[in-house]
Structure 1
Amino acid sequence: MKLHILQHVDFEGPGYITQWAQTQGAELTITKFYEENHSLPELGTFDLLVVMGGPMSVNDSAFTPWMQQEMAFIKQCLAANIPILGICLGAQLIAGVLGAKVTAATNKEIGWYTVKNGSPSDKWPWHYFNGAPVVFHWHGEQFEIPQGAEGKLVSDANGNQGFLYGNNVLGLQFHLEATANSVDDLLHHAADDLTQHSYVQQPDDIRSQTEANVQKSNAILHQILDRLITL
């Protein structure tokens, strides 16, 4: 099994996804758009695509050649029915490719907060969130639910937190891949985002919440990835 990752900045890497790939014996390759000589794989050479987060905006794509290239690649993967997981910016990119708007979030959301179903569900993938798990957020924008997709997840701060397109394209606004190290990387490189706000936790709170919640969050991601590779 081959997993390919689209990574936008060096401080928002695969996190727990690397560990999951190791448990699966999967080959993991990465396109690093922040490197000058990046390249994209041929369709048919990988079984699952994961699109990571980043501080840039989908709304800047018209002025960002590499992002135009990336969105064209995502469109090709959708047409080829390749399973895709989009995380934060990654979910927004998929939404944009599908014609949905990406706008400023109702509230900037940084730290560990619950997500929940609009209504309890036993359907994939929403059943993983019936218990309103505490997950890691770091975003100031949000996607509209694309036409033809199903969206059920919400948080107290913002409405749309996840969508499923078809049966094998999942966009999540939050970071189930977060680890203690990846959270520290964000705190170091994106410290300017930590303005005073109702839904912005400060570093000490974030670190203590990471210790309390990261394993459960990673366990949900593990199950999601296990399922995606079967679809």
Structure 2
Amino acid sequence: MTTRMALALRHVHFEDLGSFAGPLRAAGFEIEYRDVGDENYLSFDPLEPDLVIVLGGPIGVYEDEAYPFIAGEIAMLQARLAGNRPTLGICLGAQLIARALGARVYPSGLKEIGFSPLSLSAAGEASALRHLADVSVLHWHGDTYDLPASTDLLASTSLIAQQGFARGNTVLALQFHPEAQAGAAFERWLVGHACELATAGLSVPGLRADARRHGPRLEAAAASMIGEWLENIDG
């Protein structure tokens, strides 16, 4: 199997590839992380990596004055998307892809945090997301976006209509967190987002218990989902 390179852009250390790392390696990808703040964070040819994965983070796409690197990420994504190169975005990463495609990203006015199932569209049911049908996935966001032109809506929830979209086989943007792992790894999320959870009045023990209850099924379904998507990417 020819080794390919997956470049993951990471905004906070605990929001990593999680359960996606294993399926990526099984599909023949060598994983390289670039962390925000690294001198070489965006110093690569946008078209060169076989796959670029933009991970989540607790900032808004519209906060580019406070976080100037956001403009660089959007420019990188615009070049990559123009070349139709395989690209995956999760949470903030999905919002950055939406913005790079010309869509508006903005606060939703609420916090959707916790485990709940998706409502798949017809396009979602015909996509790799079919593996997530009736599976409680992790939601952790307060922003949303308008569906970009020339993309297909894949999933929604009762709170947030935009939960995922695709452009052909090469671009996948997921507002939720299918990569999240239960157990010790999830504890890093609870600590890292402690202020947000306290402000929202959410129960840390309750989220921990939900992760233990839903995590194993989510991890198995997410592995099937990302595995199928990786089999079909082209570009």
Q: TM-score, normalised by structure 2?
A: 0.85
Report the Cα offset of residue 224 of structure 1: 4.1
Report the Cα offset of residue 173 of structure 1: 0.6
In the other structure, the counterpart of 2:201 is 196
What is the aligned length?
A: 229
In the other structure, the counterpart of 2:165 is 163
* Mapping of residues 67-216 of structure 1, within 5 Å: 67-105=70-108, 107-119=110-122, 122-129=125-132, 131-180=133-182, 181-194=184-197, 195-196=200-201, 202-216=206-220
- Say whether 1:10 aligns with 2:13: yes
SS in 2 for 1:61: coil
- 8 Å contact kept, 1:162–1:170: yes
CA deviation string 1:19-62 (max 9, x = no partner): 12332332111221133553432245321111100001001124
Counterpart residue identity of residue 190, structure 2 = L
Report the Cα offset of residue 112 of structure 1: 1.1
- 8 Å contact kept, 1:53–1:87: yes
Percent identical: 30
Counterpart residue identity of residue 226, structure 2 = H
Q: Select 1:59's aligned residue among 46, 57, 62.
A: 62
What runs of 5+ residues in structure 2 fail to find an aligned partner? Answer: none
RMSD: 2.5
CA deviation string 1:107-141 (max 9, x = no partner): 31112110021447652245334x33211111111
Report the Cα offset of residue 97 of structure 1: 0.9
Distance 1:200 1:99, change over 3 A: farther
Distance 1:4 1:86, change over 3 A: same
